[in-house]
Amino acid sequence: MQNYQKELEKLLEKITKEGGVPTLLLHSCCAPCSSYVLEYLSQYFKITVFYYNPNIYPEEEYRMRVKEQERFIGLLNTRYPVAFAAGRYEPQEFYSAVKGYEAMPEGRERCFLCYELRLREAAAMAKAQGFDYFTTTLSISPLKNAVKLAEIGLKLAKEYGVSYLLSDFKKKDGYKRSVELSAEYGMYRQDYCGCIYSRQQREQEKKERALNVSEE
Ligand code: SF4
């Protein structure tokens, strides 16, 4: 498997040598996942955090996550400025994208379609607004497929003509750092990925765990 973290490091070295500060549209799924990524990449890029997540269920959860994302950006001290842009919240876009794959467990085709829906919106916006790069925070999660994310990102980069920043943010203790930052900033940290199916799966797992404990 290609080492995406190494690829990213090579690019960051090149950017540093050239002395410029490129613009990056960073799709974010939630404040906790964005925390380490922003701490890391804001040393090299002028970032706009793009919050486009029609997959999130229910709406109150969505509102809470957007609010937390904006609050965190406001608190974080960065070398270069970080801006925020909220996308549409039209859950039907998610349900149409994953139609026929609803029952899949987390980490399979339903998720790949969900990645693509969100990355496509980011690629389109990056193109329309003239960003140098686009990427997503999603690869920080140990539950997300970094290979699929890279495959989708590179495909969209070709389609839209904007460079995709390869990443595997969980590497170099990225995930661990995001947990530390979440605690440091007292962040709201949800226990399910986002969609109704991941919430049902998590509830089921909790029930099963509780049952196992009571049987012991
Ligand atoms: S589990 Fe997460 S990535 Fe997968 S479809 Fe649901 S919200 Fe999207």
What percent of the chain has a predicted confidence (pLDDT) above 70?
100
Cα 104 versus chain centre, distance: 20
For residue 113, give the ligand 1 atom closest to its CA: 5
For residue 55, give the ligand 1 atom closest to its CA: 7
The band of 129, judged by pLDDT with boundaries at 50, 70 and 90, is very high
Pocket flag, ligand 1, residue 144 (CB < 6 Å):
no
Pocket test for ligand 1, best of 57, 95, 193 (most atoms within 8 A of CB): 193
110 Cα: distance to centroid of ligand 1 (angstroms):
7
Pocket flag, ligand 1, residue 117 (CB < 6 Å):
no
Residue type, 100: G
Q: Closest Cα to residue 23, out of 159, 127, 130?
A: 130
pLDDT tens per residue across span 79-112 = 999 999 999 999 999 999 999 999 999 999 999 9
Q: What pLDDT is recorded for position 214? A: 78
Triad 169, 171, 172: Cα angle to 5°: 115
Residue type, 2: Q
Pocket flag, ligand 1, residue 33 (CB < 6 Å):
no
Residue type, 25: L
Most distant CA atoms of the chain, gap in Å: 62
Pocket flag, ligand 1, residue 70 (CB < 6 Å):
no
> Does residue 175 contact residue 141 with C-beta atoms inside 8 Å?
yes
> Does residue 164 contact residue 154 with C-beta atoms inside 8 Å?
yes
Instruction: Tell me what the pLDDT averaged over the chain comes to.
Output: 96
